[in-house]
Homo-oligomer: A and B are copies of this chain.
Amino acid sequence: MSQPLRITVWNEGVHESNGAPASMATDYPDGMHGAIAAGLAGLIPDAQIRTAVLADPEHGLTEEILASTDVLLWWGHIAHGQVSDEVVERVKQHVLGGMGLLVLHSGHFSKIFISLMGTTCSLLWRNEGERELVWTVNPTHPIAQGIPQPLVIPHQEMYGEFFDIPDPDDLVFISSFTGGEVFRSGVTFHRGRGRIFYFSPGDQEYPVYQQPAIHQVLANGVRWAAQPDVPRVAPSVGHPDREWFARS
């Protein structure tokens, strides 16, 4: 645990460059990835934190970057389809090989999350800026440490059930919304040798990623997902036939 954690915060960055919604300029002057990175830096002082966006060469997710990343955070929304399949496959190999992955909010519909889950990852949805309450249902879980019960988000987009995901390894948080909907808002999985945490709060229209309690959840998630002492394994998910004959 002596070496610093290496964190990469990925954001498609399209709302930031398009200036829509207009509130982005005041809510997130450094982009959502900037707000997340700053929040993490405050809570994991020795971390090495990088950010990357869709517009970067190879979306900023080269083999070299991924190989030196302990935990990747992923935020996407209106540009899921613009993410290259090659980069998605590269990220998947690293997750299966041991890299931690935090998928945030509308990232539930990202190619990488859908590919790792095997389901549609669809959900109920409505955006009326309602109050979200995030309740801890697993107080023993490392990700729940130090989080208020409930965590109050004054204004948020509503995500509701049925959320079409596999049963998670651990259900950490359940949210309710003013309209009465509920959502499994904090869930963990492992796939191959990698640990995955999906956390739904956070949206381009609301300054959720400026809340200290949200920073705490994300920092807890990063620490939980990181396996800095475990060598990255090279999984082999390519052509199934190649797999098979390699075994014979």
Residue numbers of A with Cβ under 8 A of B are 77-81, 96, 98, 106, 109-111, 114-120, 122, 125, 131, 133, 135-140, 145, 149-150, 160-164, 166-167, 169-171, 174-176, 178, 180-182, 184, 189-195, 227, 229-230, 235-237, 239-241, 243-244, 247
Contact = CB atoms under 8 A, between A and B. Distances in A.
10 contacts: A81-B240, A106-B244, A109-B240, A109-B244, A120-B192, A133-B181, A135-B182, A166-B166, A167-B171, A176-B180
A85 to B, nearest CB: 12
Nearest to A235: B120
Nearest to A178: B180
A122 B243 contact: yes
As for how many copies of this chain the complex holds, the number is: 4
A192 B235 CA distance: 26
A117 B118 contact: yes
B171 A125 contact: no
Contacts of A125: 247
Nearest to A76: B240
B180 A167 contact: no
Contacts of A176: 176, 180-182
A180 B131 contact: yes
Given A180-B133, A192-B119, A229-B145, A240 B114 contact: yes
Contacts of A229: 145
A77 B109 contact: no
A175 B164 contact: no
A76 to B, nearest CB: 9
B174 A192 contact: no
Contact of A244 (B80, B96, B119, B192): B80
A10 B205 CA distance: 49
A24 B162 CA distance: 35
A119 B81 contact: no
A194 B138 CA distance: 11
Contacts of A241: 78-81
B182 A182 contact: yes
Given A164-B192, A180-B176, A240 B111 contact: yes
